[in-house]
Amino acid sequence: MQTVIGLEIHVQLSTRTKLFCPCRADYFEAPPNTLTCPVCLGLPGALPVLNKRAVELALRIALALGSEVRERSVFDRKNYFYPDLPKGYQITHHDEPLARGGRFTFFVDGHARTVRIRQVHLEEDAGKLVHVGDGALVDFNRCGVPLVEIVTEPDFRSAKEARAFLQELRTLLRHLGVSSGDMEKGAVRCDANLSVQVGDRPGTRTEIKNLNSFRAVERALQAAEEYHRELLAAGETIAQVTFGWDDHADRLVVQRTKEQAQDYRYFPDPDLVPLVVTAEWLARVRAGMPELPRARALRWLERHKLTPAEVEALLPEPALANYFDRVAGELGDGKTAASWVLAELRQYWTGEEPPLPAEDLVLLIRKVGAGEISRTTGKELLAEAAQTGKSLPELLARPDLVQLGDEQALVQVAQEVIAAHPQAVADFRAGKAQALGFLVGQAMKKTEGRADAKKLGEILRRLLSP
């Protein structure tokens, strides 16, 4: 028995305005029905006008997936009644989508897997129902927000693969700058279909709608797989059902059966003209493509000799990845840059902006490298700059730090320690090497850890040598 899974992923584009009107698209936490206009409300006589920026972001996705962008695509009307759908139809690419074909490679347990992409197309989102008591209220803010739907071929063999794919797809979307990729905010939503093939006979497909987290995708698909396998093992036939996923109860819920299947009566939207993507336009979009995460990972592995774990930690957030690239580039030492960014800087990065300008971190790493300040001091300064917003160059200019950086000051500390601990000095001179460690420790204590221990060791050794 072979499990066969295909995915349909809805990606909310991070355009400023909606797909067919000038309303703001970022509806998250906006008061209900404040981001609407005659067009997205579908008021009588209002007409859609396509947002070119949304097309460009969709083209980025298509190009990144290696899909073939079609010169001419046509928006269709998908007809169905639902209170959150103000026009009674959704505008979507159907028969003639934006792009067809393509493939995407991702890793599962360290092994590469490639799935084929069937198509990439644009469509508008619907509104939202808010259930209150035995009624419901409608919020039309989300109406007309641009979505890109990515449809895969049924190439996944397990729930785990589907999850791994989605996680890497999200990284790709973020690096492309096309979507926030936040599943918890609904910016990426997933429908899945699953069948279990016995021998050569393809199985009956069941669909699962609206999976809104990586966990939900994996759990729902596992549950569907079990459902299929149990029925097949019992010799029963599988009905064509559409499931929803109840996250709290952790189980599948039947939404509709085949008898209730909808006829969407697709036909070309006569309010819009065909979308023509000229070779010049596509070339401009291609030229503006950022470096893809896969290429970046390879570059880091090869040029900077980062470990796979470091790559995995740096890659998912494009802002962090870009920050690392700047630091590594200026420093000319990716390994050191990675260790500082991951071990020290990342913990302070909570907002949109980096907690410390990249050039400041480079300066700090250089000071530590030159032995002007200790690594410990460096960490403390980084923490202070990041948490208080004080400027790092100013912190570095503090008089006590400068003294610790210069040789003279360290020699004085070393002489004081030698004078205070005659026994250890005698031990060292008698050949007990670990006595030097004790003396370095005492000197560090005196400087409150701000001196460079290595340098102190050298100075002590020099002063104590005959």
Of 77 and 189, CB closest to other proteins? 77
Which H/E stretch holds residue 148? Answer: strand 146-152
- Residue 89 sits in the site that holds other proteins (CB under 8 A): yes
- Residue 239 sits in the site that holds other proteins (CB under 8 A): no
H-only helix segments in 132-192: 159-176
User: How many residues belong to the site for other proteins (CB under 8 A)?
Assistant: 31
- Residue 240 sits in the site that holds other proteins (CB under 8 A): no
Residue 97 one-letter amino acid: P
Binding residue (CB under 8 A) for other proteins from 109, 200, 263, 280: 263
Task: Count how many Cα atoms sit within 13 Å of the Cα of residue 415 in the half-sphere of its side chain.
Answer: 6
Task: Give the Cα separation of 341 and 360 in Å (integer).
Answer: 12
Task: Give the Cα separation of 337 and 365 in Å (integer).
Answer: 8
Closest approach of other proteins to the CB of residue 49, in Å: 5
- Residue 259 sits in the site that holds other proteins (CB under 8 A): no
- Residue 463 sits in the site that holds other proteins (CB under 8 A): no
Task: Give the Cα separation of 56 and 68 in Å (integer).
Answer: 14
Specify whether the CB–CB gap between 452 and 379 falls below 8 A.
no
- Residue 260 sits in the site that holds other proteins (CB under 8 A): no
Task: Give the Cα separation of 436 and 447 in Å (integer).
Answer: 17
Specify whether the CB–CB gap between 179 and 12 falls below 8 A.
yes
Among the listed ranges 35-43, 65-73, 327-335, 437-445, the one in contact with other proteins (CB under 8 A) is 35-43
Of 91 and 224, CB closest to other proteins? 91
- Residue 464 sits in the site that holds other proteins (CB under 8 A): no
> 332: exposed, middle or buried (C-beta count within 10 Å: 0-12, 13-18, 19+)?
exposed
Binding residue (CB under 8 A) for other proteins from 18, 60, 70, 77: 77
Binding to other proteins by CB under 8 A, coded x per residue (else -) over 363-402, reads ----------------------------------------
- Residue 273 sits in the site that holds other proteins (CB under 8 A): yes
Judged by CB under 8 A, the chain residues 130 through 169 that form the site for other proteins are 136, 138
Specify whether the CB–CB gap between 191 and 209 falls below 8 A.
yes
Query: The tokens of 284 are what?
Result: 């401009």
- Residue 32 sits in the site that holds other proteins (CB under 8 A): no
Specify whether the CB–CB gap between 395 and 385 falls below 8 A.
yes
- Residue 82 sits in the site that holds other proteins (CB under 8 A): yes
- Residue 83 sits in the site that holds other proteins (CB under 8 A): yes
CA–CA distances in Å: residue 1 to residues 199, 225, 226: 7, 11, 12
Binding to other proteins by CB under 8 A, coded x per residue (else -) over 39-68, reads --xxxxxxxxxx------------------
- Residue 267 sits in the site that holds other proteins (CB under 8 A): yes
Of 51 and 442, CB closest to other proteins? 51
Among the listed ranges 77-85, 243-251, 308-316, 322-330, the one in contact with other proteins (CB under 8 A) is 77-85
Closest approach of other proteins to the CB of residue 265, in Å: 4
Among the listed ranges 54-62, 82-90, 147-155, 163-171, the one in contact with other proteins (CB under 8 A) is 82-90
CA–CA distances in Å: residue 345 to residues 175, 177, 320, 331, 384: 21, 23, 10, 16, 11
- What letter would DSSP give residue 322? H
Of 86 and 334, CB closest to other proteins? 86
H-only helix segments in 68-108: none
Of 89 and 428, CB closest to other proteins? 89
Task: Give the Cα separation of 242 and 208 in Å (integer).
Answer: 6
Q: Write down the residue that tokens 């400041």 correspond to.
A: 360
- Residue 265 sits in the site that holds other proteins (CB under 8 A): yes
Closest approach of other proteins to the CB of residue 271, in Å: 5
Among the listed ranges 214-222, 234-242, 263-271, 371-379, the one in contact with other proteins (CB under 8 A) is 263-271
- What letter would DSSP give residue 368? H
- Residue 235 sits in the site that holds other proteins (CB under 8 A): no
- Residue 186 sits in the site that holds other proteins (CB under 8 A): no
- Residue 272 sits in the site that holds other proteins (CB under 8 A): yes
> 200: exposed, middle or buried (C-beta count within 10 Å: 0-12, 13-18, 19+)?
exposed
State in Å, rounded, how far the first CA of the chain is from the last one: 80
Closest approach of other proteins to the CB of residue 92, in Å: 13
Specify whether the CB–CB gap between 145 and 19 falls below 8 A.
yes
- What letter would DSSP give residue 19? S
Q: Which residues bind other proteins (CB under 8 A)?
A: 38, 41-50, 77, 79, 81-83, 86-89, 136, 138, 263, 265-267, 269-273
